[in-house]
C-alpha cells in the first residue's frame, strides 16, 4: 500500500501552497498513475513519498512504513526512483554510471556487472555500454536512467514522466518493460501528462489539481461512470477544466 494522508506543503518563499491536504491510497502491486496539470503537485508528492522533500504536515506511507527519520533508510531500499531530469554523469560511460549507482546500494563485483549487462540487454543498450552518456540520444539516456533505479531490486518503482521527450520506439519499450516488471510483483507509481498512455498502462489513477485530490479510481471504471466521456482524457478535462495553467 502507498498512502499519503493530508499532505500540506508550501516551499520556502512561495506565495501559494503546492499541496493543500492531499490524500490518496494505491494498493500494493498496482501500476498507479499520478496525473494532473502542470504545477498540480505531482513531483512534490512523489518527492515526499521518497523522502526527498519534507511535508509541512500530513504523512506518507510506503508498504506500512511511515516516511520519517526512523524509516527513511528502509524505505530508500524499497524504492527505485527515476527522476524527471536525467540524473547521470555525462562524461562517464553507461557502464560507469550504472556501476556508480550500484555501489550506492552496496552492490559490486561480478554480480553487479552481470545485472547491469542483463538490463543493458533488456533495454537495447548492450552495444553502447562503453559510450559516454553525453553521446546518447534522449531515449537512450532515459532508458539508462531507468536502469539506474532497478539495480537494487526495489519493491516500488517511482517514475516521474518516464516517457517525456522520447521517441515512439523507446516509449513502447519502456511501457512494455513496466508491465512485465509489475507482473513480477513490483508496484509502480508514475506521473505522466499522456492520458492515453496512463489509461492503457495504469490499474489505478489519482488526478490531482492545485495540490488536492480531485478524482481516484480504475481508468475503465472512471470512464464508465461518465457516459459523456469517451476516454480518460475526457474524464480528466471534465474535472480539471480547460483553463491554462502557469
Choose, by CB under 6 A, the member of 2, 4, 40, 207 that binds ligand ATP. 40
**CA dist., res. 177 & res. 212, Å (int):** 31
The CB-of-73 to ligand ATP minimum distance in angstroms stands at 24
Choose, by CB under 6 A, the member of 36, 51, 80, 102 that binds ligand ATP. 36
**CA dist., res. 24 & res. 39, Å (int):** 18
Residue 85 binds ligand ATP, judged by CB under 6 A: no
Binding mask 4-23 for ligand ATP (x = CB under 6 A): -------x--x---x-----
The CB-of-213 to ligand ATP minimum distance in angstroms stands at 13
Residue 44 binds ligand ATP, judged by CB under 6 A: yes
The CB-of-48 to ligand ATP minimum distance in angstroms stands at 10
Residue 39 binds ligand ATP, judged by CB under 6 A: yes
Stretch that binds ligand ATP, among 37-45, 68-76, 133-141, 168-176 (CB under 6 A): 37-45
Query: Whose Cβ is closer to ligand ATP: residue 144's or residue 192's?
Result: 192
Stretch that binds ligand ATP, among 38-46, 104-112, 179-187, 197-205 (CB under 6 A): 38-46
Choose, by CB under 6 A, the member of 24, 31, 41, 107 that binds ligand ATP. 41
Q: How many CB atoms lie within 10 A of CB 143?
A: 25
Instruction: Say which residue the cell 554510471 belongs to.
Output: 97
Interface residue list for ligand ATP (CB under 6 A): 11, 14, 18, 36, 38-44
Amino acid at each position: 500500500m502507498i498512502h499519503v494522508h493530508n499532505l500540506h506543503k508550501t516551499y520556502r518563499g512561495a506565495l501559494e501552497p503546492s499541496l493543500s491536504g492531499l490524500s490518496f491510497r494505491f494498493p500494493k502491486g498496482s501500476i498507479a498513475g499520478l496525473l494532473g496539470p502542470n504545477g498540480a503537485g505531482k513531483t512534490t508528492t512523489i518527492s515526499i513519498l521518497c523522502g526527498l522533500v519534507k511535508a509541512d504536515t500530513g504523512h506518507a506511507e510506503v508498504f506500512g512504513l511511515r516516511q520519517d527519520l526512523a524509516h527513511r533508510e528502509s524505505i530508500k531500499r524499497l524504492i527505485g526512483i527515476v527522476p524527471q531530469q536525467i540524473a547521470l554523469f555525462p562524461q562517464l560511460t553507461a557502464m560507469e554510471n550504472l556501476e556508480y549507482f550500484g555501489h550506492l546500494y552496496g552492490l559490486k563485483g561480478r554480480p553487479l556487472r552481470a545485472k547491469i549487462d542483463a538490463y543493458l540487454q533488456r533495454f537495447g543498450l548492450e552495444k553502447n555500454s562503453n559510450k559516454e552518456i553525453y553521446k546518447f540520444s534522449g531515449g537512450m539516456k532515459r532508458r539508462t536512467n531507468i536502469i539506474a533505479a532497478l539495480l537494487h531490486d526495489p519493491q516500488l518503482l517511482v517514475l516521474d514522466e518516464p516517457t517525456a521527450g522520447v521517441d515512439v520506439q523507446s516509449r513502447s519499450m519502456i511501457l512494455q518493460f513496466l508491465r512485465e516488471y509489475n507482473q513480477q510483483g513490483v508496484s509502480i507509481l508514475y506521473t505522466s501528462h499522456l492520458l492515453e498512455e496512463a489509461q492503457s498502462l495504469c490499474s489505478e489513477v489519482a488526478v490531482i489539481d492545485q495540490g488536492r485530490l480531485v478524482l481516484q479510481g480504475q481508468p475503465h471504471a472512471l470512464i464508465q461512470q461518465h457516459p459523456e466521456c469517451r476516454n480518460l482524457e475526457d474524464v480528466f478535462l471534465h474535472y480539471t477544466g480547460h483553463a491554462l495553467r502557469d
